[in-house]
Amino acid sequence: MVRRIVVLGGAGLIGTHLCLRLLDEGHEVFCVDIRDSSASPLLRRVSEHPSFRFVRHNVVDPFGIRCDRIYNLSAPLSRQHDRVMPVEALRTDIWGSMNALEIARREHARVVLASSGDVYVNGYRENITDERMPRSYRQLRAEGKRAAEALHRACRVQYGVDTRIARIFNTYGTGCDATDQRVVMRMVSAALTNRDLVVYGSGEQLRTFCWVGDTVEGLVRLMEAEPGDAMLTVNLGSDHEISIRALAEKIVALTGSRSRIVHKEARLDDLHRRMPDLSAARTRLNWTPGTSLTEGLRCVIAYVEKQLAADSLASMSWVEVH
């Protein structure tokens, strides 16, 4: 069945791949984002697609689109955004959710909220009670997403809106700008230009990295799962752990880089371990990530090589090109 689907935050990494997946399935897609569509290199090729509509809009402001499905992937643009503009970051999570839920209520649409694995780690410094202490990026993200989750539960109970929640852990893939500061893209870009790969602290922090296509598959399965009495909530991510230092070493090896791995002072909010429990996704959605880290990194490396080559060509003069 062809559906009319809204993807909020559609110019981001996951949103881009989700839009492309939904278009391939024949749906009509409305990609809503505060950024221009050019922020996603992969969306440029579908800008003229007859079933694709790009709507440049800030989700904190009310909007209206007739639709059957809403994927709410809206989030602050970066850690710097959270730190410098914390009120705006919280508005994105809370007001953006309220506006999306209002559309869902009016249109009888189904909603999937992209929450964060950070909701589990908000209490790691709960013994600190001095309110003068600065709130960390993770704490701010957790509080915003917890509030958004509460709004979705409330709208389900009070208004009967069909809502589902995906708590997303570290996701990586193609489609970002080469200057993206998420760890995988940052390290790959540095390795391909033989710059230092920066590791904060000892590098023994354990993380998991899920290929973006696998995350999108989980989101689609969550959206299309049969409705139940309780709101379906699942974790989406990888359950293969690797230390940040080992990730850097792997990227250097795969790129054949001459980069050094250098250590800087540890971040205050850097957890030692962050791995999702995928049991609900396996049981309810029959979903597990299928792309190995090595396979995914090779795809990212090939993508960034093309991006860097295109940027280099664009910076050349006519004489240099010819």
Q: d(Cα 36, Cα 206) in Å, to the nearest integer? A: 34
CA angle 171, 153, 65 (to 5 degrees): 75
Is the pLDDT confidence value at 134 over 80?
no
Is the pLDDT confidence value at 206 over 60?
yes
pTM for the full predicted model: 0.90
Q: d(Cα 158, Cα 178) in Å, to the nearest integer? A: 44
Q: d(Cα 49, Cα 67) in Å, to the nearest integer? A: 18
Tell me the per-residue pLDDT of 149-168, one tens digit each, with 9 for 90 and over. Answer: 999 999 999 999 999 999 99
Report the chain's mean pLDDT, rounded to a whole number.
88
Q: What is the length of the chain?
A: 322
Phi, psi values for residue 65, rounded to 5°: -140, 125
Tell me the per-residue pLDDT of 261-302, one tens digit each, with 9 for 90 and over. Answer: 999 998 876 778 888 999 999 999 999 999 999 999 999 999
In angstroms, the first-to-last Cα distance of the chain is: 51
Q: What was the pLDDT predicted at 4?
A: 97
Q: d(Cα 242, Cα 236) in Å, to the nearest integer? A: 17
Q: What was the pLDDT predicted at 312?
A: 65
State which CATH number among 3.40.1440.10, 3.30.360.10, 3.40.50.720, 3.40.1390.10 fits the domain covering 1-168.
Answer: 3.40.50.720
Q: d(Cα 98, Cα 151) in Å, to the nearest integer? A: 7
Residue ranges per structural domain of the chain: 1-168
Tell me the per-residue pLDDT of 43-95, one tens digit each, with 9 for 90 and over. Answer: 888 988 999 999 999 999 999 999 999 999 998 765 544 456 788 888 999 99
Place 251 in a pLDDT band, splitting at 50, 70 and 90: very high
Rg (CA), the chain: 20
Q: d(Cα 237, Cα 172) in Å, to the nearest integer? A: 10
Q: What was the pLDDT predicted at 120?
A: 76
Is the distance from CB of 171 to CB of 217 less than 8 angstroms?
Answer: no
Q: What was the pLDDT predicted at 169?
A: 94
Is the distance from CB of 251 to CB of 294 less than 8 angstroms?
Answer: no
Beta bridge mates, 232: none
